[in-house]
Structure 1
Amino acid sequence: MTGRSAIFLDRDGVLNVDHGYTHDPASLQWQPGAREAMALIKQAGYLAIVVTNQAGIGRGYYTEAQMHAFHEAMNRDLARHGCAIDAFYFCAYHPEASRPEFRHRDHPDRKPNPGMILKAIADWGIDPARSLLIGDRDTDVTAARRAGVAGHIYQGGRLDDLIRGLLPGRPASGSGR
């Protein structure tokens, strides 16, 4: 074993319902089975790491502080279920950002680029071959592949059912790519 195992998760549309630039803790609505999925991930000994494009910051729809407050609300709720997200990596850069400091044609952290995943791998000593990513878009899977991590698409339903099928020793769910 050369490093730790991790499950990387996209945020909006995978863990929480995507209301469009979701950032208000009052609007946190978990996907079905998401909290249970997080508990399964932690019970299996994996790191749980969120990698999320957050163009709403660059577009001026909300602040970085508001995004952090949303993440804190997620972890407060997960703590009541005996688990937590180990780290949040985000990219506020976007080619059409209204805030010039976040305008970038092709930032290395913005999925489908693998920058956020590669940073987490380095920061946490993660073995890409023993890790996977769950996202809801092809850009998520592309970023995972570029980082040497298996990528899987969440197409709705209970997230914990998908996690059960992806954990070692359990049959694959057939929804991965």
Structure 2
Amino acid sequence: MKAMIKRELEQSASIISSIDPTQVHAIADAMTVALKAGSKVVFFGNGGSAADAMHLAAEFNGRYLFDRPALKALSFCSISAITAIGNDYSYDDVFCRNVESIVQRGDVVVGISTSGSSKNVLKAIRRAKEMGAVTVGFTGIKGALKDETDLALTIPTDRTPRIQEGYMAAGHVICGLVENAMFAKKAAFIDRDDTIVKDVPYCPRPEDLKVFPGVGKAIKRLNDAGYLVIIVTNQSGVARGKFTEATLAKIHEKLRADIAAEGGKIDAIYYCPHHPDEGCKCRKPNLGMIERAIDEHHISLGDSFIIGDSAHDVELGKRLGIKAIQVSEGYTFVKAIGDLLKN
């Protein structure tokens, strides 16, 4: 029994990990464009797909990962409407009639069908396309739905349970992408040593921390421009026994205070305490610290940048796919921020 359960879970995980991320991204982008334009997203399907349609619409109406304004989305799930249309016309018309009454040009219309052949889903998708909506299909590898929509999320299997698990996993990713694109914040990820403070090897005391001139005012400019200011710094001195995390906390208290004295605000500080040989996931240029910041502060990477003095900072920017700025004695943090905000 355990072997069977493990096999089922492994199959599900394998299918989910094989979903084409470009399809997910394209659908999220289309929904974001529509919602920003004041249009809406509509979901529908039969049976379990109807429940999934309600689920996804609720993620937009309510919240997915963080509090924000409601997003315009609905599902065609009224039992009264479905049975009335099915009785008076045909079950093939239950979604099409809803499309005709509610959908407008520019809306995104998502038809969900594990078989890809549900007649009522296909009929509604065709009508929505005629009306100028962007059509999306959540389906498997069989049936016509994937070929009749503008965008398709094609789960790479013909097994119904795996298709359902796949499009709900991808659906949640889409919800997160749309939520971030609509409401997430931009961030300035800033290195510490030799970027905003003079590098004191394994700085052991708060009084040894010296902020470069003008840094506090430059950070205030970032604050005023709507950036979260996030410090990301490798501090292997903890693992080497040069100072404790309690001492590091006091050093960072002084850093916050020095920046505040010039009107600036540091929103968060993330540090890696590990030795370079430990192979941790947080030491730059690894992504660990940034991933924590994204999750905890709801950051949109597309509008963010990283700035630091080392090749590790530049490499981290490349791995994230964001702008990376390298500073030096000749091109200081203050100058770089001035150029960035001017442009």
TM band (smaller chain): 0.7 to 0.9
Residue 71 of structure 1 aligns with which residue?
Answer: 252
Query: How far apart are the structure 1 equivalents of 2:324 and 2:292?
Result: 17
Gaps of 5+ in 1: 97-103, 172-177
Aligned-partner residue type, residue 55 of structure 1: S
Instruction: Normalising by structure 1, report the TM-score.
Output: 0.85
Asked whether the 8 Å contact 2:276–2:283 carries over to 1, the reply is no
Match of 1:141 among 308, 314, 337: 314
Cα deviation, 1:74-124, whole Å, max 9, x if unaligned, reads 11122222222100000011145xxxxxxx1x2110011111112111111
- 1:30-109 equivalent positions in 2, closer than 5 A: 30-96=211-277, 104=278, 106-109=279-282
Give 1:44 deviation, angstroms.
0.9
- State the one-letter code of the partner of 1:62: F
> Residue 23 and residue 150 in structure 1: after superposition, are their counterparts in 2 closer, same or farther (change >3 A)?
farther
| Alpha-carbon distance in 2 for matches of 1:126, 1:81 | 25
What whole-Å deviation, never above 9, does each CA across 1:28-78 have from its counterpart, x for those lacking one?
Answer: 211232112111111111100000000000000000011110110111122
How many residue pairs get aligned? The number is 161
Match of 1:13 in 2: 194
Asked if 1:162 is matched to 2:336, the reply is yes
Is 1:10–1:135's contact at 8 Å kept on the other side of the alignment? yes
User: 2:283 corresponds to which residue?
Assistant: 110
Structure 2: tracts of 5 or more residues without a match: 1-180
**Moved segments of 4+, more than 3 Å:** none
SS in 1 for 2:238: helix
Q: TM-score, normalised by structure 2?
A: 0.45
Larger Rg: 2
Counterpart AA for 2:211: W
Structure 1 CA distance for aligned equivalents of residues 333 and 218 of structure 2: 6
1:125 maps to what in 2? 298
* Paired residue type of 1:155: S
Deviation of 1:24 after TM superposition, in Å, equals 1.4
Q: Which amino acid aligns with 1:117?
A: I
Deviations 1:117-142 (A, max 9, x none): 12111111111110000010011111
Task: Check the 8 A contact 1:33/1:161 in 2, yes or no.
Answer: no
Q: Which has the higher contact order (CA 8 A, sep 6+)?
A: 1
